[in-house]
Amino acid sequence: MSLSIEEVDKIFSELNQFRVPDDHRGNAQKNEFWKIEEAELADAEKRMGIMIPHELRRFYAKVGSGHLVRSRKGVLQTDYLNIFVDLRRLSELWLREDVSFQYDAELVADGELPFFDMGSYSYFVLRPHSANPNAVYAPYDKKPVSNSFNEFVLQLYQDTTFYLDHVGDYEV
């Protein structure tokens, strides 16, 4: 499935309705996103020493970081965090710095960028130095969960647990 820029912008526009001020973080029963400024993106890329893959970078610039727990139809799931990690966390994960107990560096291969936290030590990753840096994978897997980040966002917005069909079905 290849999405046009117009289709992607429409989805991002819909997700912007869930933008909240920074000081209103933390309602796990609602979709919430927090704005990310261009300067913050540039600083994160400089700190990590890589360019954030284009589709994720555009999502951060247009929507922000946050969590998506309700589908487009309003169906709530509370079993998974579904967090698009913020830039501080993205940098920590990429650089494998001293991070909280929620992350075990051996669960993600070198060269994988954990951008989406499902909870329970489970992340989805991008591979910035690969032939398709926007494809979404479970760590170490050879087969993508989605062929593009934009496709992943659309699938997630339609069904906030669509990825369960792929988790644990690894081709290592």
Q: How confident is the model at residue 6 (pLDDT cuts 50, 70, 90)?
A: very high
Please count the structural domains in the chain: 1
- Residue bearing tokens 């991070």: 99
Residue 91 sits in a domain whose CATH number is: 3.40.1580.10
Question: Is 18 part of a structural domain of the chain?
Answer: yes
Q: How confident is the model at residue 119 (pLDDT cuts 50, 70, 90)?
A: confident
Please state the rounded mean pLDDT for residues 132-153. 94
Please state the rounded mean pLDDT for residues 79-98. 89
Q: Is the predicted pLDDT of residue 172 greater than 50, yes or no?
A: no
Question: Is 40 part of a structural domain of the chain?
Answer: yes
Question: Is 17 part of a structural domain of the chain?
Answer: yes
Kindly report the backbone phi and psi dihedral angles of residue 136, in degrees, each rounded to the nearest multiple of 5, phi listed first: -105, 130
Question: Is 58 part of a structural domain of the chain?
Answer: yes
Question: Is 171 part of a structural domain of the chain?
Answer: no
Give me the sign of the Cα torsion angle 164, 15, 36, 30: negative
Please state the rounded mean pLDDT for residues 127-147. 93
Please state the rounded mean pLDDT for residues 87-113. 78
Q: Is the predicted pLDDT of residue 34 greater than 80, yes or no?
A: yes
Q: What is the pLDDT of residue 25?
A: 64
Question: Is 172 part of a structural domain of the chain?
Answer: no
Q: What is the pLDDT of residue 171?
A: 46
Q: Is the predicted pLDDT of residue 153 greater than 80, yes or no?
A: yes
Q: What is the pLDDT of residue 132?
A: 97
Question: Is 170 part of a structural domain of the chain?
Answer: no
Q: Is the predicted pLDDT of residue 51 greater than 50, yes or no?
A: yes
CB 113 within 8 A of CB 126: yes
What 3-state DSSP class applies to 90? Answer: helix
* Domain span including residue 78: 5-165
Q: How confident is the model at residue 109 (pLDDT cuts 50, 70, 90)?
A: confident
Q: How confident is the model at residue 97 (pLDDT cuts 50, 70, 90)?
A: confident
CB 151 within 8 A of CB 3: yes
Q: Measured in Å, how far apart are the chain's first and last C-alpha atoms?
A: 24
Q: How confident is the model at residue 28 (pLDDT cuts 50, 70, 90)?
A: low
